[in-house]
Amino acid sequence: MTLMGISDGTGLAGEFAPTTTYLNTASYGLLPRRAAEAVGALTAEIASGGRVGSGDFATVDAARRSFARLVGVDPSRVATGGSVAVHVGLIAASLPAGAEVLFPEGDFSSLINPFVLRGDLEPRFAPLAELADAVGPRTALVAFSTVQSADGRTADCAAIREAAAAHGARTLADATQSVGWLPFDAGAYDYTVTGAFKWLLCPRGTSFLTVGEAAQESLVPLHGGWLAAADGWESTYGPIGEVAPDARRFDEPPAFLAYHGAAAALSLVEEAGVAAIHAHDVALAERYRAGLAELGHTPVPGTAAIVSVPGLADREPELARAGIIASARAGHLRATFHLYNTEADVDRLLDALSN
């Protein structure tokens, strides 16, 4: 099972050149050739003094538009930045003291810590499978990853949204482990955050925040600087007169090298198509799950492109020495499958685990 364009030596085939059996996209995605070239070209221009400024805001906006298309929202709802934790911190700062924030147990720390470290909010935790039932009348915000980083479990997003709406709570979905392989509608949530250096194949330092229209009014652009201004270059000195009317007022100052690479990488994801990537990735994960069953191993149940096997975390160093790159997370051996992987990669991992 291979993605069209990678199997036939044309199209996307020349974009990747792994020298290992790389099964660790949930940690970081391989950088496509076009993205590496974009970063290299900008680096050369900056080093030579051949560029006015250190990057192109139009390229940042191209990345914004590309991401918006991938998650089904208007670009006016998308803010750009460098990390999920900073975007989450902006949301955490918007809540009143004493507000209850509900999380799944064991979710990724960048989603949780900005709320906990404020010290005056009320964090509450529930098992992922029971998260919707745990939403109550005191819940101000439900914050959860749509797919769990540690083991690939998938949240019941529709049930969580329904429960939040019934109690007047807002929703924050961390889609870092979803967007790029799993179809995702960011418009269904008040806020979403997505670290783009994993399944979206962007350089690290690329992160996207989406904010619903009503939710935009509750956020203060604390780190906006002059970029938060409606008139841009006219507000580079002194206080800003008027902030941008859309989510751009929540932009962080861009890391141009990362965003020049991101615009190129996102174009590749759009060309391949999330539906095709999803079918490809899930088929490989299913092949791996079936092979694990034959070996007598039981992975964490699910249908995600992330497959984690309890009790096998200690095999990770041995696999790395054999050129098979997976990861050890929460006591599990975690393998992930993306558009540059093939059935041969799956079979090599299974062969290694059979010994």
Residue 44 has pLDDT above 60, yes or no: yes
The rounded mean pLDDT for the chain is: 95
DSSP state of 335: E
pLDDT digits 0-9 by tens, 310-320: 999 999 999 99
Whole-structure pTM value: 0.95
Helices 274-295 and 256-272: crossing angle in degrees, nearest 10, is: 80
Token pair of 293, please? Answer: 């069953």
Q: What is the CATH number of the domain that holds 171?
A: 3.40.640.10
Are the C-beta atoms of residues 191 and 174 closer than 8 Å to each other? Answer: no
Q: Which of 51-55, 102-106, 339-343 has the lowest mean pLDDT?
A: 51-55
pLDDT of amino acid 13: 73
As a whole number of Å, the CA-based R_g of the chain is: 21
**Are 262 and 285 part of one and the same domain?**
no
Percent of the chain with pLDDT over 90: 90
pLDDT digits 0-9 by tens, 240-279: 889 999 999 999 999 999 999 999 999 999 999 999 999 9
Residue 7 has pLDDT above 80, yes or no: no
Residue 286 has pLDDT above 60, yes or no: yes
**Are 200 and 219 part of one and the same domain?**
yes
Does 201 map to a domain?
yes
Backbone angles phi, psi at 340, to 5 degrees: -90, 0
**Are 172 and 282 part of one and the same domain?**
no
Token pair of 92, please? Answer: 């955490």
pLDDT digits 0-9 by tens, 159-207: 999 999 999 999 999 999 999 999 999 999 999 999 999 999 999 999 9
**Are 279 and 251 part of one and the same domain?**
no
Does 51 map to a domain?
no
**Are 137 and 92 part of one and the same domain?**
yes
Does 41 map to a domain?
no
Question: What is the number of alpha carbons within 13 Å of residue 217 lying toward its C-beta?
Answer: 2
Q: What residue numbers bound the domain in which 217 lies? A: 57-271
The domain total for the chain is 2
Q: What is the CATH number of the domain that holds 349?
A: 3.90.1150.10
**Are 281 and 259 part of one and the same domain?**
no
